[in-house]
Every structure is written in C-alpha cells, then in structure tokens.
Structure 1
Amino acid sequence: MLKLNEIKQFLVNYKPIIQEKYQITELGIFGSYVRGEQTEESDLDVLIDYSDVPSLLDIVDLEFYLSDHLGIKVDVVTKKGLKPRIKENILAEVIYV
C-alpha cells in the first residue's frame, strides 16, 4: 500500500505533465490517505481546479492516468463540483501539491 509521502512525491513530479495535459491549476489530495485511515480497498481522492472546464472524458482519463501510474483506484473531484454539505470539510483537509 502506498504511503502519503510517496503519493505526494509522485504528484509533485508529474504535476507539470498533468497541468499541461488537463489544464489543471490546482492539484490536491484528501480523504482517507490524508487522514491516515486508508485500507487496501481505499481509493485515492484527488481534488482539482482548472483554467478550462474539463469534459467528463478528461476527468475519467485523468483518473485512469493516475490509477495506472499509482497502482490504486483514483477518484477525481473538481473543486467547483463539491457539494456544499461536504465542501468545507474537504477544503479543510486537502493537501495541495
């Protein structure tokens, strides 16, 4: 199972490529990996913001790209797409890279 530092290092290393390919302005992680509560079944929650609105296909492509490179399931959420009832909690725990 990957550790938080390994995930952060990967994202830091690949951030320029990800930003260019997907027009992402912010990239962060939140959820069980940030809280240290991940299990073998946990997915990685990734929060993004963007300069150009990504299509659903772009988001799915990014999920596959990250999943393939990290070897774990990745769930990508857009900052603007956060539901109001959970937005505050997510923004409080997100670690941006």
Structure 2
Amino acid sequence: MDKEKVLDFLKENKEVFSTKYQISSLVLFGSLARGEARDDSDIDIAIETKLSDYFKLYDFKEELEKQFQSKVDMIRLREKMNPRLKSRILNEGIYVR
C-alpha cells in the first residue's frame, strides 16, 4: 500500500469521518508511516473519538479495509493506554490534517 494514497484518502474524507464516526484526530503510524511497509503489511491508524459505540467503530475499520484492500489495525488514543505505544504513535505518527 502506498503511504500517499492512504493519507490522501484520509484527508479527503476527514470531514465525513468526523461527522459519521465523531473522529477528531486520525494518525497514520507504524511501518507505512515510517516508509518500511511491505506488500503484506497492515495499515496502522490511531484515532481520537468521543464515540463509545464499538460497533460503529468496527464499521469504520471495515470501511477502511474495503477501501484499501488491506488489513487495518485501528487503535483508539486515550489518556490511559500503554505509554510506550502512545509515545510511538505520537512520535512517528503522521497526523491527517
């Protein structure tokens, strides 16, 4: 998967995702963000949302997987989460603006 294609899609649809899934931030991280992705790599996306309906969040994940034809690992950014993972997301992540 091409990093720029993923970022372009997320940027183009950010308002839709904000309205539909109450997402306030999208962050691409992991091997794709670092430019180390292989053909079989998944797409790692961290989100900030006020939505507490996990079924709707799963719908969002499925929507992205269908669009990218690739597995998407989605993590919800929270105050209380694994500090090492959170640090990695914040340091290597590419924020969708």
Q: What's the TM-score once normalised by structure 2's chain length?
A: 0.89
**Structure with the higher fraction of residues in helix conformation:** 1
Q: How many matched pairs?
A: 95
* Higher alpha-carbon deviation: 25-34 or 35-44: 35-44
Structure 1 residue runs of 4+, over 4 Å off?
none
Structure-2 separation of matches of 1:82 and 1:15:
24
Alignment of 1:83-94 (within 5 A): 83-94=82-93
| Counterpart in the other structure of 2:75 | 77
| 8 Å Cα contact 2:21-2:51 kept in structure 1 | no
For the aligned residue pairs, the C-alpha RMSD in angstroms reads 1.3
The structural deviation recorded for 1:53 is 3.3
The structural deviation recorded for 1:70 is 1.4
| Counterpart in the other structure of 2:6 | 7
Instruction: Show CA shifts across 1:18-58 (max 9, x none).
Output: 111100100110001011111122110011102x2332212
What 5-or-longer segments of structure 2 have no aligned partner? none
| 8 Å Cα contact 1:62-1:76 kept in structure 2 | no
Instruction: Show CA shifts across 1:1-29 (max 9, x none).
Output: x2111111011111111111100100110
Q: What's the TM-score once normalised by structure 1's chain length?
A: 0.89
What 5-or-longer segments of structure 1 have no aligned partner? none
Matched position secondary structure for 1:53: coil
Structure-1 separation of matches of 2:73 and 2:86:
16
Matched position secondary structure for 1:37: coil
Identical aligned residues as a percent: 34
